[in-house]
Each structure stands twice: as structure tokens, then as C-alpha cells.
Amino acid sequence: MTDRTLAPHPDQPPPDRRRFLSLAWKVLGVAAAAEIVGVVAAYLWPRPGAGETGGRIVDAGPVGEFTPASVTPFPGGKFYLVRLADGGFLAISSKCSHLGCTVPWNERDQTFPCPCHASVFDLRGDVLSPPAPRALDLYRVTIESGVVKVDTGRRIQRSRFEAGQVAYL
């Protein structure tokens, strides 16, 4: 008695290494293409709250904690709270308006220099040196019962600084 389970079906050619490798490469190619499409889609598809803190109100602290002409970073909120010399407040996004790189605060020069493409912004977020096409974005600031609050739910795009953007006590 012979074992028929090992014998190939008469209509099927016997498997060979070339056919197996060809099939394996096709399967791996499809998997790699699917992964690339997934990565590109994840990169391009906007995430809820991307570049923001998910729309929450950040209690920055009492007004008295911020000296005039000072900049306080809020890394979790991805913004800087700027207190202008006249006592007004701006919450400036830490993302460059050119390509979204994180801009640090340079205390010595009193500027926000972008490390990616050398744009420079002043204390109010205005462009001092291109290629950034517009001022740094803002978040809405309110002052309630002497406490500074920043609404990180929506970034406000602007072309330049205007006096109406400042929140006062």
C-alpha cells in the first residue's frame, strides 16, 4: 500500500524552488507596499488635536507670576506664554509657520529662531527673517479671577501681530 498524501496531484506540476521564491517575493512586495501606503496615509491624515493639546484649557498661573517682557515655555501645551512690557499676554505656538519645526526661545537675542530653516521671530511672533511666510500662530488667552488661561483647542493663524491679539487683565 502506498501513501498517496505525499504524491502531487496529477494536474499540478510539482513544486519547485523558483516558483516558491517567486511567490514569496510577491507576497513580501505586497506587504511592503501596504506598509508604505499606511505610513504615508498616517503622515498625511490629520490627527485630532495634532499640534495641540487636545483642546484643553491650560491654567498657566496667576498673573503676578509673569514679569513684564518675559517668555515662559509650556512644552506640554506646545506654546510660549509671553507677557509684553505693557502687561498684556500672548500665547504663541512653538511651531514655526514655515514647516512646523519647534522654535526655541533665545533669551539673549529676545527672539524665536527656527533651527530648521533659519526663520527668526520677535517677542510678539512677527517674522524678522524669512523663509517663514507669516507670524507664529496664537492660542486664545483669557484672564479669569487673576489666573491666566490658555485655550489650546484651536490655533489661530495670523499674518502679523496686531494689538487686538493681546489679552489684558
* Cβ-contact 114, 101 below 8 angstroms: yes
User: In this predicted structure, what is the pLDDT of residue 28?
Assistant: 94
pLDDT at 12 over 60: yes
Q: N- to C-terminal Cα distance for the chain? A: 98
Domain boundaries, the chain: 57-165
pLDDT at 151 over 60: yes
Task: Categorize the per-residue pLDDT at 32 as very low, low, confident or very high, splitting at 50, 70 and 90.
Answer: very high
Q: How far apart are CA 125 and CA 92, in angstroms?
A: 7
pLDDT at 11 over 90: no
Instruction: Determine the 3-state secondary structure of 163 from DSSP.
Output: helix
Q: How far apart are CA 146 and CA 110, in angstroms?
A: 26
DSSP 21-52: HHHHHHHHHHHHHHHHHHHHHHHHSPPTTTTS
pLDDT at 41 over 90: no
User: In this predicted structure, what is the pLDDT of residue 49?
Assistant: 46
Please state, for a pLDDT cut of 70, what percent of the chain lies above it.
86
pLDDT at 3 over 50: yes
Instruction: Determine the 3-state secondary structure of 164 from DSSP.
Output: helix
Architecture of domain 57-165: 3-layer Sandwich (2.102)
Q: Can you give the pTM of this predicted structure?
A: 0.67
Q: In what order do the strands lie in the sheet with 127-129?
A: 112-113, 120-121, 127-129
Summarize pLDDT for 113-127 with one digit per residue, the tens: 999 999 999 999 999
Nearest to 80 by CA among 68, 71, 67, 89: 71
Task: Give the CA angle between residues 9, 10, 13 to the nearest 5°.
Answer: 80
pLDDT at 52 over 70: no
